[in-house]
Amino acid sequence: MLQVNPDASKIARKTDAERAAGLVRSPLHGIPFVVKDNIASKDRLETAAGSLALVGSIVPRDSFVVAQLRKAGAVLLGKSTLSEWADARSSNYSEGYSAAGGQARSSYNLTVNPGGSSSGSAIAVANNVAAFALGTETDGSVINPAERNAIAGIKPTVGLVSRAGVVPESLHQDTVGTFGRTLRDAVYALDAIYGVDPLDNYTLAQAGKTPEGYYRESLSNRLILRGSKFGLPWLSFWAYADEEQQSILLQLIDLIKGAGATIVNGTEIPNYQSTVSPSGWNWDYGTTRGRPNESEYTYIKVDFYNNLLTYLSELSNTTIRSMEDVVRFNDDHAYVEGASPNLNPAFASGQDLLLASLATRGAMNSTYWEALKFCQQSTRENGIDAALRHGNHKLDALLVPPDVGQSYQIAAQAGYPVITLPAYVHSLSGMPFGLALMGTAFSDATLIKYASAIEDLQKNSK
């Protein structure tokens, strides 16, 4: 935890009194939750994205998601720590570290990467600090910490949940996700926060594509697996999982198969050779191949410059108004904020990603648009959608090993949903790993249906 809400007990007493009087606003009434430090709350808590530069700034209003949870009667316990600026400040850094919050550590292994950038939110749920938590994701920052802390994580379709009041990176890929010790807990949180918000026009795309009731109505049991069809993109993702993970996860796949599902191997992302980095997660893989016009980071760094400018314009009680101001603040506090390489061991490369964003000056040039078009087309209709239409099969979802970061990276570029479930703990690292389900745009209800069935299958197969 980075901060504890000084009003949490007062709010909890009020919600308890409401429940005693017969007023129950939702299944979350009186339930404590935490949010990542880049999600705004208009109260006595800071919203600083882990950076000392934003400490003391005042947000204009609750973020949409916090406002929705307050309406649902949930109790904001506090803000969780994160990787500073949600992993957008340094290319070589300690995951889960921020100048404001220090190093987040997973209780499974205090010495290794706890997953991020929503590190504290995942750890808080895993450690029973809160019943559920919110994180944010641009590329992996919900799915990665969820699977590395043995909890359920939902990264929704971009546009299902408003980003209004969230410190941004890229409006093309940013989303707010949910964490729970069980998938049901994470789904209850999703039910409270999704919906159309006039302050985020991406949410207009969900019209006619969401349940008439609630996502929790899609929760199911293992019996629903009979007749389902899932694909394994083996060469695209599975081949990069280590031998132990492959062995354990394939045992789980056999369980799913035994419950009546059809498993289709080799359901590849058609152009995986040019979109999936063979050396691990790499959001600048296009540039690595000499093609910046095919790189996710080409547009992310431009978006970060522009989107942050818009966000900062609404803050009060701060002199930080631009990327230039953030970089200057870090230079003025060089050691604590690691302005240059190796000044702070947690920021080994200094603030190189902030400098890369600054260098763009927000210019949306032809390379920017080419990169955005390539990444979206190659991961959507020519990527995940094509894999789901494998041969004569129409698949319900793709099953992937989320410890292979390239898997959620492809979904991130597409803006498509992913759900991860705990699978096992690795014998060498002592860190958990999961199994994830990936689908097309606004297939969130379908993923919830089958993920909850797999969770039920796991529970009843031990």
Active site residues: 36, 117, 141
- Comparing CA positions, the residue from 347, 354, 236, 349 lying closest to residue 300 is 354
Residue 40 has φ and ψ, to the nearest 5°, of -70, 140
Q: Which residues contact 64 (CB under 8 A, 6 or more apart)?
A: 161, 162, 163, 164, 165, 193, 197, 199, 200
Q: Give the C-alpha separation, 146 to 153, whole Å.
A: 5
Are 190 and 215 spatial neighbours (Cβ–Cβ below 8 Å)? Answer: yes
First to last CA, the chain: 33
| Cα dist from 7 to 13, 75, 76, whole Å | 10, 9, 9
Residues listed for the chain: 462
188-213 per-residue burial string, b: 16 or more CB within 10 A, e: under 16 = bbbbbbbebbeebebbebbeeebeee
Laid out side by side, the sheet with 262-265 consists of 3-4, 75-80, 32-36, 132-137, 175-180, 152-155, 418-425, 432-438, 397-400, 229-232, 262-265
Paired sense of beta strands 97-98 and 102-103, if any: antiparallel
